[in-house]
Structure 1
């Protein structure tokens, strides 16, 4: 049975917080791979970005290409409507019956788990892996495997805001992603 980590998100843009979390969980749980699962329409967020699905995918490919265990799963890009994790994991579980899935979430999402769509069914399909994040608790009534990782307080929203305010984003995300953002004038960059 292969052990596969799943890291979902908008990745708008992907940053070192995402990459460190995936790497630490892969190492800590001895996973065979980590699949990055970009959302088409996250049910818990209002779309505030001007980037396209293709631009987000390109940035994620650039960010993950050098890691041998990282891969991108675009199943949610091929579906219409909100990206509910339960529906995605039902499909992946059927497609990959010999895989055990570890769904990686930051502490902000651990607090939000009771609000997830069909959470009681989802915990039967995946094992949740929680990673600490500054300012959040990791306590939950749901079973969570906790993995320690360096605490880096970076968010995609913070990066977008810094770009909009003409502030530096250097060292917050891979240099190749920063260059892609600049060359493609994303998030109001010039």
Structure 2
């Protein structure tokens, strides 16, 4: 059975923390591939309207291009609307019945897992993989496989703030993402 990791998120923008999480899970669990899954509309976040779905998808494609074991999973963008992980993973499981999905989350998401939509049903569809994050307890009563990895305190909010204030972004973004953002005039770079 093929083992596929799913890393979902807004990716507004994708940063090196996302790549590190994906790579650590990939190697720790001997996965066949990792799919980066940008959501259409996150149920728990309000997107900065600066980056469209197309912009976010393109940034993910740029970020993962050098890595053969990383792919894009556009299903939530195709489905549109509010992206609930349960509905998405139910659809992916129907499309790919011979795949075991591993859903990768950070410590903050581990802490709030009990609030996820249809979490008990979702637990039957995927295996959760958690990576600790500074400032989170990274604990839950649900079955989550914790992967030991460097704890990176980096967020897309932090990156957007750096763009607004003109401070350095060196080593924070994957190659090509910063130049795409500047070319498109995102996050106040107009």
**Do both share a fold (TM > 0.5)?**
yes
TM-score with structure 1 length normalisation?
A: 0.97
Q: Check if 1:76 corresponds to 2:76.
A: yes
- Residue matched to 1:104: 104
In the TM superposition, structure 1's runs of 4+ consecutive aligned residues that sit over 2 Å from their partners are: none
User: How many angstroms does 1:150 deviate by?
Assistant: 1.1
Q: Does 1:136 align with 2:127?
A: no
Give the SS at the match of 1:186.
Answer: coil
CA contact (8 A) 1:4 1:31 kept: yes
- Secondary structure, aligned partner of 1:188: coil
- Residue 173 (str. 1) matches residue 164 (str. 2): no
Matched, 1:160 2:160: yes
Identify the residue that residue 49 of structure 2 maps to in structure 1.
Answer: 49
Aligned to 1:26: 26
SS across alignment from 2:100: strand
Runs of 5+ unmatched residues, structure 1: none
Count of equivalent residues: 190
Q: Secondary structure at the match of 1:187?
A: coil
Q: Using structure 2 for the length normalisation, give the TM-score.
A: 0.97
Match in the other structure for 1:114: 114
CA distance in 1: counterparts of 2:80 and 2:11, whole angstroms: 18
Judged with a 3 Å threshold, the aligned counterparts in structure 2 of structure 1 residues 179 and 32 are, in CA distance, closer, same or farther, namely same
> Is it true that 1:59 corresponds to 2:37 in the alignment?
no
